[in-house]
Structure 1
């Protein structure tokens, strides 16, 4: 993918085939010590690429076209719904419904879905006026980048976290601890460093680089920068983690093979970022303000995805309970009810975000604050997994493989001793392997860790929630209650003047 050309004709909505074509761009991509020349055909990436391509093709299906896309009033082009700037509650709810469709198709497993990342590009667009006031031209850059992404339906990633080298040290003392700006010249800025855990980077067109909430006031301004680049930019190296879905899709790994988004380290080897791709530079105060603003819609869409994940866990747990005849046990129903409550609460959080929606300074309608619900989601993520794990118990560990089931010597014993209630051994094996994939194997553990960390440090989020919560009215009532009673001679037989004086005294208290 090349940098945007103002004269180029936008390519419009992605198709699966065009996505594959554009992904084979020659980027410097490494897996297990070897360079990957084409992620589209590489066996570690191909199933995930095919799944994303299938979902992108649904935008062109007449049955879903109106929900998943909208007609841009300025250009007349069809654009993916996630990029739509909502100005009314109806448009905001359409964005939610579109994301619900996408995440239902992926069973809540795509944390960095195109629908999610489009909402962050939308947040950058919304914040453009403040970026422009801070530095002439940066707001215009942000708007041009958003238009480029929306008009070409780009699949995006974002990079926030610094490498885990020595979190007790300050980057000012050891510059390799954080991505930094080395120089500025006529072409742009030169950056060196790394960004950790860039989910979907191997399968995305571009990456948006900005700062996590963990950067501190002590950090030098050379570490404060927002920009976006194509992932085939010279000097940008992408290192993938070990794949989690490399087994053939089917009996053993129905989720991992299709939905492993891949996480990556990005190394910036003195990369030149053109000036028209820089959005914020050397302004820590603005970066802290902007972090919440540009993620207003993504936090909302993230809840849509988490609700679908909880529904997947609930349905799987119910099927597992039914398959071994424990679904009528009181304790099992109580656990399933708790999991159902989690899913329902997530729905209510989404409704509350819409009810509290506010118009931003750029005229868009942003969902209400979701800070408390994000903390709650991280807190219950482990409990949701534990419920499914407890119901499946030891059965999650011992299930026959496809080759076991095909063995004529083994099959009679499998049919006799490894069947379920009303289901044969093969169906039960597929179901329990799905449950294991959600709770125990590498893919499941990665998804669980993602739930815990992707919303940011849980302790910091709790502290910030405490500091932001308005207790003033309740504190005032309690402090009035704790004040000593006003000394007065008034009693049951006191005259009206005394009563009046007492009332005046009460009214005069703060």
Structure 2
């Protein structure tokens, strides 16, 4: 009997209304010491739910329908474009245009927007033949799960990192340091442990658990497992961090109030993973191979998202400069030019992925790998914020609220806090937006996200170095120094 069941029927692209209703599924979500009974109605979660619902409904809007959805020839359902297996370059570029709508509509602020995670499900589907080498049933499970989530347009998340308890200790020896298999019950697997940092967990239908490739060594077999589960699975608890963006003083947080996608710890308290939801077991080498393979399209889509975020930062930075009359200053123009270069470099990375696209062993067209892009993006992320901060300076910190402007202080505010080309109200809203993007708790969370979500930068640099082929240049240098210079 298959465990693939959901409150969502296989009707293709979701609507916002169906999405919100489907989250009332008995999941165990914890916030500030209390269990949330209905995520769809809790005030800490409703702002993002409203925004996700709006984005999901765009799939049915006349102007976006053909960009965001595509007919599945196997079922006749219109499924999200992110789930559609690209067969050629036209399909690949259609996937990019799909992502561009999602990312533009959310200003590049949502790292786990459904258009991103659907491509990871696509990656699991693409990798199914290699998973079958681990066990024929695992390849079949991967394909069945992919079709299950695609036909329902399920919102997905993934759980990657292990708990930060003692990273110097051996996770093979300490049962709390990594999620692990504790026993088998028939064909099912029982797992125990925790995973961080699971972004979007309270708002997703399913979680995909992988990234156990670092445990490829002997004796770590019980730590290597890939699987997917509904977030309402018994024994699975979701601990949310403090929500961002709220204050008791009416200070507007236009992005934090709409795009706080939440980050969560997942606790697996002897959770049963049905046999048909297991994709890989006890094979660290295959897990290592799969990490790159299943993320081929998500890396590409992630670059679309980051480019939109940089465009947002550039637009805000330019308007800040104009608002206080420094837009003609040479140093400001130089800074804005540097930020512009980041946007254009990302465009080149995207084009490179398309130019080097290759057919996978399952017959799909995947963008060529651009690992240097992940390293570069993490390196410039902080500088992009610093540029906006340098332009706005202390004005980013000190701006009146909407209620201040409505008070008897208004004449003073109009006199001393107006801008070069806008009144105090327009200027304060612009600068508060800059505060939200760069400096408050939401802005700092976004900055940290950019620094870490592509993986450890040091490890990425080392891996890039190890993969880079120096054979030819080393040979030439050796030849050069064989004789006296």
Interval containing the TM-score (normalised by the shorter chain): over 0.9
1:62 aligns with 2:62: yes
Classify 1:5/1:266 alpha carbon distance in 2 versus 1 (closer, same or farther; 3 Å).
Answer: closer
**What is the rounded CA distance, in whole Å, between the counterparts of 2:143 and 2:288 in structure 1?**
20
**What is the rounded CA distance, in whole Å, between the counterparts of 2:484 and 2:383 in structure 1?**
48
Classify 1:414/1:118 alpha carbon distance in 2 versus 1 (closer, same or farther; 3 Å).
Answer: same
1:374 aligns with 2:374: yes
Q: Name the count of aligned residue pairs.
A: 483
Structure 2 residues not aligned, in runs of 5+: none
SS at match of 2:208: strand
Aligned-pair CA distance for 1:83: 0.4
Classify 1:338/1:438 alpha carbon distance in 2 versus 1 (closer, same or farther; 3 Å).
Answer: same
Aligned match of 1:161: 161
Classify 1:320/1:364 alpha carbon distance in 2 versus 1 (closer, same or farther; 3 Å).
Answer: same
SS at match of 1:176: coil
SS at match of 2:136: coil
Contact 2:212 2:224 (8 Å CA) reproduced? no
Matches within 5 A, 1:102-501: 102-186=102-186, 188-211=188-211, 214-215=214-215, 217=217, 220-247=220-247, 252-407=252-407, 409-484=408-483
**What is the rounded CA distance, in whole Å, between the counterparts of 1:130 and 1:99 in structure 2?**
27
Contact 1:170 1:218 (8 Å CA) reproduced? no
**What is the rounded CA distance, in whole Å, between the counterparts of 1:223 and 1:215 in structure 2?**
7
Classify 1:200/1:9 alpha carbon distance in 2 versus 1 (closer, same or farther; 3 Å).
Answer: closer
Contact 2:321 2:327 (8 Å CA) reproduced? yes
Task: Please give the per-residue CA displacement for 1:377-410, whole angstroms capped at 9, x wherever unaligned.
Answer: 0010111010001100000110001211111x21
Aligned match of 1:31: 31
**What is the rounded CA distance, in whole Å, between the counterparts of 1:238 and 1:219 in structure 2?**
29
**What is the rounded CA distance, in whole Å, between the counterparts of 1:143 and 1:401 in structure 2?**
52
Contact 2:3 2:276 (8 Å CA) reproduced? no
**What is the rounded CA distance, in whole Å, between the counterparts of 2:337 and 2:394 in structure 1?**
22
Aligned-pair CA distance for 1:246: 3.4
Contact 1:248 1:257 (8 Å CA) reproduced? no
Aligned-pair CA distance for 1:4: 2.0
**What is the rounded CA distance, in whole Å, between the counterparts of 2:366 and 2:212 in structure 1?**
21
Aligned match of 2:52: 52
Task: Please give the per-residue CA displacement for 1:356-379, whole angstroms capped at 9, x wherever unaligned.
Answer: 111100001111112111100001
Task: Please give the per-residue CA displacement for 1:58-111, whole angstroms capped at 9, x wherever unaligned.
Answer: 000011100000111221110100001001000000000110111000000000
**What is the rounded CA distance, in whole Å, between the counterparts of 1:446 and 1:322 in structure 2?**
27
**What is the rounded CA distance, in whole Å, between the counterparts of 2:157 and 2:209 in structure 1?**
9
Structure 1 residues not aligned, in runs of 5+: 487-510
SS at match of 2:100: helix
Classify 1:9/1:450 alpha carbon distance in 2 versus 1 (closer, same or farther; 3 Å).
Answer: closer
**What is the rounded CA distance, in whole Å, between the counterparts of 1:4 and 1:213 in structure 2?**
26
Aligned-pair CA distance for 1:213: 5.8
1:71 aligns with 2:71: yes
**What is the rounded CA distance, in whole Å, between the counterparts of 2:360 and 2:333 in structure 1?**
44
TM-score, scaled relative to structure 1: 0.92
Contact 1:163 1:196 (8 Å CA) reproduced? yes
Aligned match of 1:15: 15
Task: Please give the per-residue CA displacement for 1:304-331, whole angstroms capped at 9, x wherever unaligned.
Answer: 1000011011000000000000001011
Task: Please give the per-residue CA displacement for 1:216-247, whole angstroms capped at 9, x wherever unaligned.
Answer: 53661101000000000000000000001335
**What is the rounded CA distance, in whole Å, between the counterparts of 1:17 and 1:187 in structure 2?**
37
Larger-Rg structure: 1
Aligned-pair CA distance for 1:421: 1.0
**What is the rounded CA distance, in whole Å, between the counterparts of 1:423 and 1:149 in structure 2?**
49
Contact 1:170 1:219 (8 Å CA) reproduced? no
Aligned-pair CA distance for 1:349: 0.3
SS at match of 1:196: strand
Contact 1:353 1:369 (8 Å CA) reproduced? yes
SS at match of 1:238: strand
Aligned-pair CA distance for 1:43: 0.8
**What is the rounded CA distance, in whole Å, between the counterparts of 1:454 and 1:47 in structure 2?**
24
Contact 2:11 2:77 (8 Å CA) reproduced? no
Classify 1:288/1:447 alpha carbon distance in 2 versus 1 (closer, same or farther; 3 Å).
Answer: same
Contact 1:171 1:219 (8 Å CA) reproduced? no
Classify 1:455/1:235 alpha carbon distance in 2 versus 1 (closer, same or farther; 3 Å).
Answer: same
Contact 1:43 1:246 (8 Å CA) reproduced? no
**What is the rounded CA distance, in whole Å, between the counterparts of 2:141 and 2:179 in structure 1?**
21
TM-score, scaled relative to structure 2: 0.97
Contact 1:198 1:265 (8 Å CA) reproduced? yes
